[in-house]
Chains A and B, each alone.
Chain A
Amino acid sequence: VFLPVSLPAQEDERAVRAAYLFTLTKYVSWPAGQGELKICSKVDASVGMDLKQILDGKVSEGRTVHVVLNPTGMEQRQCAILYLGSVSPAKIVIALQELGSAPVLTVGDGAGFARRGGMVGLVRTEDQIQLHVNLSALRAAGIQMSSRLLNIAIIDQAERQSR
């Protein structure tokens, strides 16, 4: 994994985020953690393409990564990670509702993502990307996250919302 010391450009930041997604898989364990590791994304096509380019075919903990762009409603429930990118809070709610209680790690950009019911938010602070984690959301989806990751993450208390 190539981890640049700084993030000079937007393309580079995309790569960093992709690397973060991949690294996340190493700290997270799913209820049915076998077979193909599907990383789905509902982002811009260019971002999606970059993601697919970087991550597709990688192996994490014995599982091959398969990037699925813009999955269907049924498809997205089969994903291990659903990367939503920088989406509006409304879209977040819709996406989360579509997933229901499926064990899919939801990842988004921005500080509000985790607070709004997302599981992991990748928040850019200064020259670093900070992880924000919503523990109740993780727990609700039956996904476990390594405490080592939690040690470096900021735990966000989710805003009360109905599921």
Chain B
Amino acid sequence: MKLPRHKSLAADITLIVLLASGLSLVVFTAAMMLFDKSSSIAQSDARLGTLADIVGQNSTAAVDFDDRRAAAQVLQALRKEPRIVSACLYNASGALFSAYYREASAAMCPRVNGPHAESTPNLRSVSRPILRTSEVVGTIYLLGDLRDLHTRQRTLVELSALLAVFSLSVGGIAGLLMQRRISKPISRLAHGMHEVTSGGTFESRAAVEGSRETMELAQEFNLMLAELERRDQIAKQAEAQLQQEASTDALTGLPNRRLFLDRLPQIIALAQREHRAVALLYLDLDGFKLVNDSLGHSVGDTLLCEVAERFKKHIRKSDTLARIGGDEFTVILSSLHEAGDANIVAQALLSSLTKPFRIEGHDITIGASIGVSTLSDAQTEGDDLLQQADSAMYAAKKSGRNCTMFFTSDMSQIARERLTIENELRGALERGEIYVCYQPEFSVTTGELVRFEALARWRHPTLGQITPDRFIPVAEESGLIHTIGAFVLEQACMEALKWKQPLNNPMQVAVNMSAIQFNSEDILKTMAEILNRTGIDPGLVQIELTESVMVGSLRRSAEKMRKMQKMGLSIAIDDFGTGYSCLSYLPELPINAIKIDRSFTNKLCQGSETVKMVRSMVDLAHSMEMRVIVEGVEDRTQLGLLREIGADEVQGFLLGRPGPNPSSLAELGRRSDTGLLMEGQCTIPEPIRREAQLCRSGIEYNQTTCLTEAMPTPQSSAVDTTGNPCSPTWQAFTPTQLSRPGNKN
């Protein structure tokens, strides 16, 4: 930056020096001249007086003896005094006695007693009496000219001016030389500052030199530079930290989604250049939401950190582990020899989670679903790779969790479908598309119908029947499970009350409860409200929970279950033997019954190992005073084996498919105890078969071929052609006050 041309410090200093010396010179000279003038005048006056005295003395006799010639001679002696313009001698009577004029043009002598010529700067006059001892004999008057004095003074002024010119020149040169000592360090300092501003760095320091003030200035400037440097460093650190924070997940310290999305294309590009495989692992923790909801966010956060720590141990330095969402992690495996190696890493990550986490006194078990996509599957886009891994992860989640799935092309379709389901599920309840079907459970020993299990069903006007395995996970994820669950419970309770009339006997109802529901804060309140509203005896309601409720805090889960029991409800563990096969929870929990998973039932006729296992489970449950319910009974052999093993209750297509109107089934079931179970024959009573037909579209997903083979072909006459699963034909069996579950009330 160029400053406007201004008076420089150097010029100012020189000017000050010149002004100061010039002024002092002028004042001094003036004072000297004034003093000189006044003293010269005084001196001259004194001299005039002395001359007058001398002349007077020498004139006494001349006056006394009236000797004019002698007087004139005496006065003539004044000719030697060039200053005397005129001299006048008066006798005692005041008459002019003798006079002396230097020049003819001089003023005439004044009268002795008259006014003297005014004393002007140039002319001084003196008048003295002439004394003979003490007697006045006359008067002498002298007029002196000071013109020479003025001439002298003028010369003095001229000389002073000359001296001033000389001394000012000398002073100016001296000032110029001296100002350099002052202004040069300042100039250098300014130069140093310029270097700082143009260089942009605060490392340079100004030289501390020159006068004290300049040195102080330089020192302060250096201090300021140091301070600026310090602040600059802080700012840079803060900037770096911000950069770091922008790309890092604050909780786990892992790269965040942004950094991950930045890096992914780079890694892909590099791998493509080097012809190496890249795999992307997409991990989603199973049940993390439960942990967060039941134990609080701080536990959830700690869990995420510990999970991240465990994951870190199983990946190479060259791989990128990132946390891209709440409980979602990604791993980019670069430089793989072959895509299949990704599975090894995925398995290692899964197994790292098997040991429970201990956080704030809670033992937390958590799983993960991993989706894997590899570069060979993808195009070149990182987005595609991520999308595919995401789809694969969903597939993994759906296939039973805690497992790994590689991406296949049909997964994209599944993912799209899933999105459609979620969109359609919102409002499905209000539109009356969700309804409840009931499947009977029978006592093995007496063959009596003991309970109906309430099952949620969804019939969409255009998509048709959507199986629970398709919509329940979506409902769980979207939070719709709470309202759907409450709806099913209320419907089941109301239904159970209706059975009282036809059966003249209270009938139990079993209601499934999702772990998401179970872990919600106000589940107990919601349940109590429903029980109150419907007025059902809570002893009639069995809540079926899956093992996944144990994810999170076992202690809290147990406490909640105990509260439910206190309300009068009974608790059963659904799908027992699958999921988290950790039996240690069993003694901790207040459980009334276990429900052995259908996968065991399916395998019963395949070998003795399964039989042994089921027998052990039954024995275990009995030893802990729990009832054993076996689901998925599809043929008589299974039934026979289960009776032999000692199962308490059975459920399955062999005995009754889920139907919308259980009050009729109740009647049939009562009849069946003599026919079906006791006879041990594989014939299904007609009404049950028809009932089953109506809920056919809601069959479980892992239904086996052996089941369909075992099932007789339903009669077409029994099928409701309107598409309403609750056919009007069944209303004949239903008491008139009963509502139809499939329709909006």
Contact = CB atoms under 8 A, between A and B. Distances in A.
Interface string A110-132: 00000000000000000011110
Interface in B24-73: 57-58, 60-62, 64-70
A128 B67 contact: yes
A4 to B, nearest CB: 8
Interface string A128-145: 111100000000000000
A152 B62 contact: yes
B402 interface: no
Given A3-B91, A26-B132, A61-B133, A20 B61 contact: no
Nearest to B133: A61
Contacts of A131: 65
Interface residues of B, number: 18
A26 B65 CA distance: 11
Interface in B89-128: 91-92
Contacts, number: 40
Contacts of B58: 148, 151
A146 B67 contact: no
A146 to B, nearest CB: 7
A128 B66 CA distance: 8
Contact of B65 (A5, A23, A61): A23
A146 B131 CA distance: 14
Contact of A152 (B65, B91, B133): B65
Given A23-B64, A26-B64, A131-B65, A152 B70 contact: yes
A128 B70 CA distance: 11
Interface in A1-48: 1, 3, 5, 20, 23, 26-27
Contacts of B66: 3, 5, 128
Contacts of A49: none
Contacts of B132: 26, 148
B691 to A, nearest CB: 182
B133 A27 contact: no
Contacts of A5: 66
Contact of B61 (A61, A129, A148): A148
A99 B348 CA distance: 175
Contacts of B91: 3
A149 B133 contact: no
A26 B92 CA distance: 16
A27 B67 contact: no
Contacts of A20: 65
B65 A151 contact: no
Contacts of B133: 26, 61
A101 B307 CA distance: 163
Interface string B522-563: 000000000000000000000000000000000000000000
A61 B135 CA distance: 9
A24 B519 CA distance: 161
Contacts of B70: 151-152
Contact of A149 (B61, B68, B69): B61
A92 B145 CA distance: 53
B287 to A, nearest CB: 151
Residue from A23, A61, A148, A152 having most chain B Cβ neighbours under 10 A: A152
A61 to B, nearest CB: 7
Contacts of B62: 151-152
B431 to A, nearest CB: 161
A136 B66 CA distance: 25
Contacts of B74: 151
Nearest to B134: A61
A145 to B, nearest CB: 10
A148 B67 contact: no
Nearest to B70: A152
Nearest to A27: B61
A146 B61 contact: yes
B93 to A, nearest CB: 9
A149 B65 CA distance: 9
B55 to A, nearest CB: 12
Given A3-B66, A23-B65, A128-B67, 11 more contacts: A1-B64, A1-B92, A26-B132, A27-B61, A129-B65, A148-B58, A148-B61, A151-B70, A152-B65, A152-B67, A152-B70
The 6 closest A-B pairs by CB, nearest first: A152-B70, A148-B61, A152-B67, A149-B61, A152-B61, A3-B66
20 contacts: A3-B66, A3-B91, A20-B65, A23-B64, A26-B64, A26-B132, A26-B135, A128-B67, A128-B68, A128-B69, A131-B65, A148-B58, A148-B60, A148-B132, A149-B61, A149-B65, A151-B61, A151-B62, A152-B62, A152-B67
Interface of B: 57-58, 60-62, 64-70, 74, 91-92, 132-133, 135
